[in-house]
Chains A and B, each alone.
Chain A
Amino acid sequence: MIGMIMFGVALIMLMFGFPVAFTFGGVALVFGIYAEGMDLFAFMPYRIMSVMQNTVLMAVPLFIFMGVVLQRTKLAEQLLTSMGRLFGGLPGGLAISTILVGALLAASTGVVGASVVAMGLISLPVMLAHKYDKRLATGTICASGTLGQIVPPSIILIILGDVLGLPVGDLFRAAVGPGVLLIGLYIVYILILTRLKPQTAPAMPKDDDSISRGKEIRDALLAIIPPLALIIVVLGSIFTGIATPTESSALGGIGAVVLALIYRQFSFKMVWDAAKDTVSVTAMVFAILIGATAFSMVFSYTGGDYLLEEWLLMLPGEQWGFIILAMLVILILGFFIDFVEISFIIVPILAPVAEALGINMLWFAILVAMNLQTSFLTPPFGFSLFYLKGVAPPNVRTIDIYKGIVPFILIQILVLALIVIFPEWFGMSSTY
């Protein structure tokens, strides 16, 4: 029960505004010492070491570095505003461009911290400068930055493949449909919203009234090429096997510096300042990971995992009741608990039940993955929200981000429901 109380206390403590990472770590420390004694924390070096040796997470600083360089050299702005111009008088063009760039990043990494922060650096300042509504801007970034979890390659899918004993390739293929649908619906949402409330996402002003639409498009296309080429290098290096997804992020960072050279924006000071920003933001992300690992350590060593297990075994033993309740449970737990914990603690308990009910495990895995992706977005503990807040200007408040994400969570739930009801749309069946 201690684990549950700890969550409540952490929630209250967060409101005092002390840094999130140390609030998690500190609350864990107080509860951990109270329940198990100091020696529980002898496990901490091992847990930190496992973060150090998790080379997939190396993509975080590397992608952030790329994002910072693109931002400092104004290349990101050029990419997004040009893309926005392509949409001409259409309001919401920048938001749609953000979603598209987010989708590209999602295809190159499965690490949420990397893509949310990179997207935050690249597109938040541009959207705010163009008078976008703060909530729309932050919601769009959090949602599209988190797409990496469902669009392959994806860490959630790899972990679920391991836990459920499914081939990773099958999972990757099955996740493409839902991923594409999500991207599509995000865009549809932006289109509808901007039709109803154009002031939330003003259309890009024309460069100059005299130039023709044709020339505008040509200019915009030309301006997009360099940063787009960079993204293609990153993605291309993965698809051709030149680099692993993690390594591709280094190609992106070095490539951004090369672009800066070409555009005469390069200086050693620029690189050094970019490194400083990168270190600061990376530290913010990893401090949260370390604080959270202390938190989940105390949670599980004080018996929280056994308690969850007990509760889950009370789920109904009939297919639809089971699916709906299981999804609800994961969604709610996702508000509080890290997705890795859910994959390892909860999924193994649910899996045998699902199997016994004749549920198609591939379908089940995709449902769980969608659900866990959503958990990155759910206030108050959604990590994507913290990450974006960490790079946002002070006038973007936590509460703006919390409110901005709500429509996107609803879209997530809609897609989840569609997969539940119409698995055949996604090339799957719900049973064997």
Chain B
Amino acid sequence: AQDTFTLKLAETWGPNFPIFGDATKSMAQMAEKMSNGRLKIRIDSANKHKAPLGVFDMVKAGQYDMGHSASYYWKGKVPNTLFFTSMPFGMTALEQYAWFYYGDGMDLMQEVYEPHNMLSFPGGNTGNQMGGWFRKEIKSLDDLKGLKMRIPGFAGEVFAEVGVNPTNIAPGELYTALERNTIDALEWVGPALDLRLGFHQIADYYYTGWHEPATELQFLINKRVWERLPADLQEILRVAMRTAAYDMLIHSQHENAKAWANIKQDYPNVQIKNFPDDVFQAMYDANQKLLKEAAGNNEQAARIVKSLEDYQRDSRAYTRISDNAYLNTMAEIE
């Protein structure tokens, strides 16, 4: 009989966290079925390991064999992990997957994770994230000045450049903080997950996204564990991860569409807004400036940023004359 392998996976999410958690479960199920039971993956959610943002360290140290999380969470530890989730004004999910699997994406990602004894694979996409819930309308750059907003990470830095005050609020107090104007706005994910937290009950303006056009989660694997797996199980795991990732993208589309229909019907007060052009331009400029800074003092960052920009330029040109053109034409006749 052949050896069986049981891998322990730590995910950043709580148990039964929709969409994200489903991606982990479907990956585990596929791997087990395809390997005829030789590859088992046991999932521990955040309630068990109590370290949602410790997944990187735990997989690195070998306390867990695998992880399911998002690369940009490790920006404070390894700055260049930032680039493998989603960048403000970056690529769409389709474009970004093309970059990962057919462009340089995967190679660059492995290069960044290699010194930490891990491999990282795409782990499912949320699609375009919404720009957040605002209690008042943003009509000009002035409306953003001094606005207190919960928005973490790189997007927070971009917002800070245009005068927003990024603010830390414990997730458990987000709802109360927004309801009582302790903060003016917050960014979460998209309709399906935002609906669970009830922000639509207290904020009228729901802005379209710009900061995370294609948030890609990640599967992490400890390198020694990966090398111990026989070639066929490696391939099975690779296929399971890739399929689960793609499945999460369409699952997100499905759930978000459903949730949005609900919000529209039950909360007609909610209005979809785009940021005005000058706001958009200012944020874009801020983003370019920050990217240049990031690339300026780090050779690896410079290569990654260049790869992202080059790929996005070419890929986007095609998107414009294909999907984009089609949607525009459709919009006129609908």
Q: Which residue of A lies closest to B61 (CB)?
A: A42
Quick one: given A43-B51, A153-B176, A170-B198, are A348 and B16 in contact (CB under 8 Å)? yes
Known A168-B197, A293-B50, A348-B15; contact A46-B58, beta-carbon cutoff 8 A = yes
With both beta carbons as reference points, the residue of chain A lying nearest to B54 in the complex is identified as A46
| Interface pair A54/B196, CB less than 8 Å apart | no
Contacts of B196 in A (CB 8 A): 161-162, 165-167
Identify B49's interface contact among A46, A155, A167, CB under 8 A: A46
A212: which B residues are within 8 A, CB to CB? none
Say yes or no for A340: interface residue by CB 8 A criterion.
yes
A46-B51 CB under 8 A given contacts A166-B196, A244-B182: yes
Listed residue (B50, B179, B180) with the most chain A CB atoms within 10 angstroms of its CB: B50
Cβ of A341 under 8 Å from chain B = yes
Question: Of residues 115 to 169 in B, which have CB atoms within 8 Å of A's CB atoms?
Answer: 168-169
Which residue of A has the minimal Cβ distance to B57?
A46
A49, B54: Cβ atoms under 8 Å?
Answer: yes
CB distance from B155 to the nearest CB of A (A): 21
B172 and A155 within 8 A (CB) = yes
CB neighbours of A344 from chain B (8 A): 14-15, 45, 47
Residues from chain B with Cβ under 8 Å of A242 in the complex: 182
Which of A50, A55, A56, A166 touches B50 (beta carbons < 8 Å)? A50
A345 with B173: CB separation less than 8 A: no
Q: In A213-265, which residues have CB < 8 Å from any B CB?
A: 238-246
Interface size on B, residues (CB 8 A): 34
CB neighbours (8 Å) of B282 from chain A are: none
Q: Quick one: which of B48, B54, B58, B61 has the most chain A CB within 10 A?
A: B48
Q: Say yes or no: A345 contacts B63, CB within 8 Å.
A: no
Q: Is the CB of A49 within 8 A of B51?
A: yes
0/1 per residue, B166-192, Cβ < 8 Å to A? 001110110111011110000000000
Contact A241 B170 (CB under 8 A): no
Quick check: B15 and A241 within 8 Å, CB to CB?
no
Knowing A163-B16, A165-B18, say if A47 contacts B50 (CB, 8 Å).
Answer: yes
Q: Which residues of chain B have C-beta atoms less than 8 A from A42's C-beta? A: 61, 63
Q: Are B180 and A43 in contact (CB-based, < 8 A)?
A: no
Residues in chain B near residue A50, CB distance under 8 A = 50-52, 54
Q: Is the CB of A245 within 8 A of B173?
A: yes
Asked if B47 and A340 make an inter-chain contact with CB atoms under 8 angstroms apart, the answer reads yes
Q: Can you identify 24 A-B contacts, CB atoms within 8 angstroms?
A: A43-B50, A46-B54, A46-B57, A47-B50, A47-B51, A49-B51, A49-B54, A50-B51, A50-B52, A153-B173, A162-B196, A163-B15, A241-B179, A241-B180, A241-B181, A241-B182, A244-B176, A245-B176, A293-B50, A344-B14, A344-B47, A345-B15, A348-B15, A351-B16
The 3 closest A-B pairs by CB, nearest first: A167-B198, A241-B180, A344-B47
In addition to A55-B168, A168-B197, A344-B14, 10 A-B residue pairs with Cβ atoms within 8 Å of each other are A42-B61, A43-B49, A43-B50, A46-B57, A50-B51, A167-B198, A169-B198, A169-B202, A241-B179, A245-B176
